[in-house]
Amino acid sequence: MIKILRALEVKVERKKSGIAIAGSCKKVKAPYSLVSTMRASVCVLGPLVAKRRIAQVSFPGGCIIGPRPIDLHLKGLERLGVEIKIKSGYIVAKARKLKGSNIYLGGHFGSSVLATANTMMAATLADGITTIENAACEPEIVDLANFLISMGAKIEGHSTPTLRIKGVKKLHGTTYSVIPDRIETGTYMIAGAIAGGDLFLENANGRHLLAVIDKLRESSIPIQIYKDGIRVKKSARKKTKSTAVTTLPYPGFPTDMQAQIMSLLCLADGISVITEKIYPERFIHVSELSRMGAHILLEGPNAIIKGVNSLSGADVMASDLRASAALVLAGLVAKGKTRVHRIYHLDRGYENLDKKLSGVGARIWREKE
């Protein structure tokens, strides 16, 4: 994302305590070479067309987890008065003026986090009032709204399915601390659950993970929530119980935790069922877990998991960001050595995962391919 902003000639400086961004974008084209590597790159589209009235953004890439159309992004912007054309793999967006509108952002599988973000960011600089119905309610959307409010935006209803945005003429600079990453937190919770031990996750927000915590407790994993973090304490000898998991938009069980809990349930006592209702094809990691001795049967959007006593180390291939994490989690308890290949996916979502895990007792390291 920093590279994309620099390609737009925005001044970005990375510091230990955060990122400093100064000045306006001088260019309006986000190139394929960068946008193709990360799905979230499409989030420059809304702010760019709102600020400069023109944007050229390549179709986004990222993890291979089934069809991920951007029709809701384009629908939201078009309702604000943006003219959209597709040319040579680029989204070309133009607008003489952005105008507030009533927008319904419902998709085939529910609301869209990134489409809500793109539309909300653009609407902050539109004339008049914009109402977004079926807006995403994820904590990241609430955090983005609070960030924009700290810059002078006028937004109401964040954390509800109805967002109301009164456009302002301009935004100003701010200093802001983002929320802790709930998916990173959830991944480390499952690390403690699958390997056993006593982990305290500092600064983690348990309120953002109630669906995950509920399923872990259902699987006999002791979880304690504190003001300053989350504690996972489990004996390696205590067997995990099987359960049923269905992924849903927030506050339901997140699709981005599906692969990780599957690794845990591969070792559970009994039969578990995971139903994927966000990305029904998000099961590429199943074949890799099967290499390690897991017993998993796919039936459409359902994965039926028969728990085994142990997994065995193997060479496995990461297909996407969360699958990478799931394979690392399985490797923590597999007998023998597990090599996870193509870990460049992993580094997009986890900073120093190997160092953090080795710091609490895991035998994990990096090797050059």
The pLDDT value recorded for residue 119 is 98
The per-residue DSSP string of 288-329 comes to HHHHTT-EEEEETTEEEEE--S--B--EEE--SHHHHHHHHH
Q: Are residues 153 and 228 in the same domain?
A: no
Closest alpha carbon to 46 in 37, 55, 35:
55
Residue 368 included in any domain? no
Q: Are residues 65 and 156 in the same domain?
A: yes
Say which of 25, 43, 63, 266 is annotated catalytic.
63
Q: Which residue has the tokens 């990780």?
A: 260
The pLDDT value recorded for residue 62 is 56
Q: Are residues 271 and 333 in the same domain?
A: yes
- Please give the Cα distance from 78 to 76 (Å, whole number): 6
- Please give the Cα distance from 295 to 307 (Å, whole number): 7
The pLDDT value recorded for residue 17 is 85
Q: Are residues 281 and 142 in the same domain?
A: no
**Strand order in 54-58's β-sheet?**
29-30, 54-58, 90-94, 83-87
C-alpha distances out from residue 297 to 29, 258, 319, 357, Å: 44, 15, 19, 30
Residue 328 included in any domain? yes
The pLDDT value recorded for residue 108 is 77
Closest alpha carbon to 145 in 126, 121, 127:
121
The pLDDT value recorded for residue 110 is 78
Residue ranges in the chain modelled with pLDDT below 50: 67
The pLDDT value recorded for residue 229 is 98
Q: Are residues 161 and 192 in the same domain?
A: no
Q: Are residues 10 and 135 in the same domain?
A: yes
The pLDDT value recorded for residue 91 is 93
Q: pLDDT over 90 for what percent of the chain?
A: 84
The pLDDT value recorded for residue 38 is 82
Instruction: Give the pLDDT confidence of 201-221 residue by residue, as tens digits.
Output: 999 999 999 999 999 999 999
The pLDDT value recorded for residue 63 is 59
Q: Are residues 281 and 350 in the same domain?
A: yes
Query: Parallel, antiparallel, or unpaired: how do β-strands 83-87 and 54-58 relate?
Result: unpaired
Instruction: Give the pLDDT confidence of 349-368 residue by residue, as tens digits.
Output: 899 999 999 999 999 999 98
Q: Which residue has the tokens 């085939």?
A: 108
Active site residue 137: no
Residue 239 included in any domain? yes
65: containing domain = 2-166
Q: Name 236's Cβ contacts closer than 8 Å, sequence gap at least 6.
A: 195, 196, 197
